[in-house]
Amino acid sequence: MNLKNCPKCGKLFAVQGSEKICPVCKKEEEDDFQKVKEYLWDNPGATIEEVHEETGVERETIIKFVKEDRLIAEGLDLEILLECERCGDPITHGRFCEKCQQELVEGLSPTPRKKKKPRKKTKRTRDKMFIADRVVKRKKNTDQ
């Protein structure tokens, strides 16, 4: 069991999955999110300061919701400008701009592997069998 202290309240809790805060703080954070979401639904274009004053939710928490892609800053007037963490371009939500997101996804996708050329038979290797040769031979036998 993986135990960790909650960075918000300091209580010890059992980490489940990728949770970073304890269940009590997580519930409070979800309640704060609902407050902000409902306020912005009724008051589109409100500033962070207005949202903070009306809902009681901390400014940093509201900005965190925008960075986590839970809120889009188009309905929220940010006094601060969010920047892409990779290239620095201005963004309205998340951590990366669309261009950098696409490049990161392309970088993570598997690329087709080049087929290896068969080994050249030399006097030394002619009588030896390599693991790769066994795999190829096995595939040929199962395909037939």
**Residue 46 structural domain:** 32-108
Tens-place pLDDT, residues 61-107: 988 888 888 877 665 655 556 788 888 888 877 888 889 988 888 87
Residue 114 lies in a domain: no
H helix runs in the chain, sequence order? 23-42, 48-55, 59-67, 98-108, 131-143
Q: Which class for 43: exposed (0-12), middle (13-18), buried (19 or more C-beta within 10 A)? A: middle
Tens-place pLDDT, residues 30-72: 999 999 989 988 888 788 888 899 999 998 898 888 888 887 7
Question: How many domains is the chain partitioned into structurally?
Answer: 1
Residue 69 lies in a domain: yes
